[in-house]
Amino acid sequence: MNVRMPSVRHPHSFYDVFGVVAAAVATMALILTVRYGSVIRIEMAAFMAIVFLWAGWAIERILAESEERSKRRRQRPPWNQ
């Protein structure tokens, strides 16, 4: 069984998005458990905003690639499949 790490630059599935967001939330929870101050809270809020913007971009990219594959599949004649 071949297991790959979630891809940040080239996400291919929603598992990539879920893996990255889950790792970011776990990292944020760990950092806030160890250190808790106003500066750290601001940094973590900015970090999570960046992660959720990335997640939106990644989902949009995955859906666009899926749509392209679907269009290519429809353009092929049935006898070539």
Residue 47's contacts (CB-CB under 8 Å, 6 or more residues apart) are 24, 28
7 — phi, psi (to 5°)?
A: -95, 130
pLDDT of residue 63: 92
pLDDT exceeds cutoff 70 at 81:
no
How do residues 21-50 score in pLDDT, each as one tens digit? 999 999 999 988 888 788 888 998 999 999
pLDDT of residue 11: 85
pLDDT of residue 68: 87
Sign of the Cα torsion 7, 24, 52, 49 reads negative
Q: What are the sequence ranges of the domains in the chain? A: 36-67
**CB–CB of 3/16 below 8 Å?**
no
